[in-house]
Amino acid sequence: MLHLLPLSTLLLLRAVLATPSPPPAARPLPLLIWHGLGDNYAADGLHTVGDLAIDVNPGTFVYYIRLDESPDSDKTATFFGNLTEQIASVCADLAAHPILSSAPGVNALGFSQGGQFLRGFIERCNVPPVKNLVTFGSQHNGISKYQICGASDWLCKTYIGLLKANTWGAWVQSHLVPAQYFRATNDTTGEPTDDYLEYSNFLADVNNEREEKNATYKENLASLDKFVMYVFEEDTTVIPKESGWFAQVNASSGEVTALRNRTIYKEDWIGLRQLDEKGALEFKTTAGGHMRLSDEVLTEVFEGYFSPAKGSWEGPKKESQEQLEL
């Protein structure tokens, strides 16, 4: 015998079936973190930063950029390697990553030299596309002295001895990392030297300082929603510290030429003026020496620039994130 459901039950079932499923909760965009000189992607301090990012914006997938799966080798690569090849390797790794490659965009946080390397990634490949870039104590306009080692960091001191011997030699420019963002200027004019423009393996290229400009660099960097540059007020490691704002400092007189008064901005070689004109370029200071960061400052960054309100997506399945997160 056929039993029919009551009309009230049929109407309830129809209503349930007709109700659309709630959309997945929005997650913050994934966060890339690139560490600085002498650090490695697995360092406890770096992961403390990543954990704070997750606490502030739950659901954030954090990826710590590395040049080798061995932490020791990753640390060595901060001193020794060809930046052109290193950034190409990072481009390939991120483009093939099962979570990052599926995201509509990512946020990026660069510490010290990791900041200009992230900018190099954006200019040269930008897959997945970076939406918001924040850098701390980075050397966007290069360094004029190799004063970048801790008192007990003998590995760093060994490399710096090699750097000082022949900055513009082919071997140094293709093997020693800090030499590739060293920027030599004329003591009288403050303008870059011919040796720098001819032989720099990294900085002169990503800053589009040579006569032939790369239009892709400008297009990619100008696509950012925000580019925020922090300088440490008492920074004595990065010389000049104003490099973190793309400022140029005359080594003889100490005169500082701010970014907006420089040709790189006026002729918009890499898109900085375009970013500034749309309100996307921010210059910030924070107290203390090089990389002396407080949780308060980092929390402000995570809330202000990396929250879901600044960009979100459905995100990966939970188990996928747990399997891939390091």
Q: How far apart are CA 133 and CA 151, in angstroms?
A: 31
CB neighbours of residue 324 within 10 Å: 14
Q: How far apart are CA 183 and CA 240, in angstroms?
A: 11
Give the gyration radius of the chain's Cα atoms: 23
Query: Given 74, 200, 205, 290, which residue is catalytic?
Result: 290
Q: How far apart are CA 220 and CA 238, in angstroms?
A: 26
Q: Tokens 């921010």, residue? A: 282
Helix, strand, coil abundance in the chain, percent, nearest 5: 45, 15, 45
Q: Could you please report the per-residue DSSP string of 274-291? A: HHHHTT-EEEEEESSSTT
Q: Could you please report the per-residue DSSP string of 282-316? A: EEEEESSSTT---HHHHHHHHHHHSSGGG-EE---
Backbone angles phi, psi at 312, to 5 degrees: -145, 170
Query: Given 35, 39, 74, 112, which residue is catalytic?
Result: 112
290 is catalytic: yes
Query: Given 39, 235, 243, 268, which residue is catalytic?
Result: 235
Q: What is the DSSP letter of 30?
A: P
Cβ 215 vs Cβ 268: under 8 Å? no
What torsion, rounded to 10 degrees, do the Cα atoms 167, 172, 173, 175 define? -150
Cβ 218 vs Cβ 269: under 8 Å? yes
Cβ 226 vs Cβ 133: under 8 Å? yes
97 is catalytic: no
Cβ 240 vs Cβ 144: under 8 Å? yes
Q: CA angle at residue 76 from 73 to 82, to 5 degrees? A: 105
Catalytic residue positions, numbered: 112, 235, 290
